[in-house]
Amino acid sequence: MKIAFLADPLAGFKTYKDSTYAMMVEADRRGHAVYAFEQKDMALDGGSVFANAARITLTGDAADWYRAAPQHETELSTFDAIVQRKDPPFDMEYIYGTYLLELAERQGARVFNKPSAIRDHNEKLSIAQFSQYTAPTLVTSNEARIRAFQARHGDIILKPLDGMGGAGVFRINADGLNLGAVIETLSDNGRRTIMAQRYIPEIVKGDKRILLINGKAVPFSLARIPQAGEVRGNLAAGGTGVAQPLTARDREIAEALGPQLAARGLLLVGLDVIGDFLTEVNVTSPTCFQEISQQAGFDVAAMFIDAVEQAR
């Protein structure tokens, strides 16, 4: 197969933990031809969607890990699979990229995750479709509503709808100290919609990342445990990742959501679960492959490439 990865610049990969790198290594190990391009490399020209893509050769050296052939303008429909791994921010450029990929699909390209499904599943807002598994949640730009929510629930979390890696996440305690300043900052004085959630004390045991591949759960989660003085477990915010078997509640959530999300064209999903509650549905570039594989011995990348091969 010819597998193309739409990713951020390869030179910035941290190969010891990068999930896209793990996917590429597994695809290469199986003899698939690996290509890479960035969102800016795509173009619609003459009715067809092209990308300036480069064939990638892996060296096996984690520091100097790839060689790239000269970029070649390639019609996206000629690839057997395109794996969308562009990180947020989910801005208008990201959306334009999904439109181009969707056009490529109509010309025969196979894109994972499905571009329209990525576009339709905001990683924060999508939990509202599964409210039976969520803690109390509010989405609004209205300060009065947020203040009422905080008065009702006391300890809350506030966060933007378009961030990643824990960026812009704030905890407001029951005393409400700094609530006004946080609302002003996150909502841009009421011009931007944000999310409030009741604080879940079990965060001290980790923000669990549960990976779904073609609707089936990887049997281990990665509990991302906040460092001292933090409320964010995200690895990008200094959290420590600990692989652990799925709990009964984890499996209940994964088995309920997995088939539905797969049917919508989401081959790879990262559910975030704190305690017994679903907090996010990650569809852009879910991570934690390597941490789970290294600690639990389960080859997540192999499961993913199996799914890509079977989805042809």
**Catalytic residue numbers, as ranges:** 124, 159, 209, 224, 232, 272, 280, 282
Q: What is the C-alpha separation between 170 and 164, in angstroms, rounded?
A: 13
**What is the DSSP pairing of strand 72-75 with strand 48-58?**
antiparallel
Helix (H, G, I), strand (E, B) or coil at 61: coil
Q: Is the dihedral of CA 274, 307, 283, 232 positive or negative?
A: positive
Beta bridge partners of 68: 56
Q: What is the C-alpha separation between 188 and 59, in angstroms, rounded?
A: 46
Are residues 280 and 162 in contact, defined by beta-carbon separation less than 8 angstroms? no
Ramachandran sector of residue 67 (left: φ over 0; alpha: ψ -120 to 50; beta: rest): beta
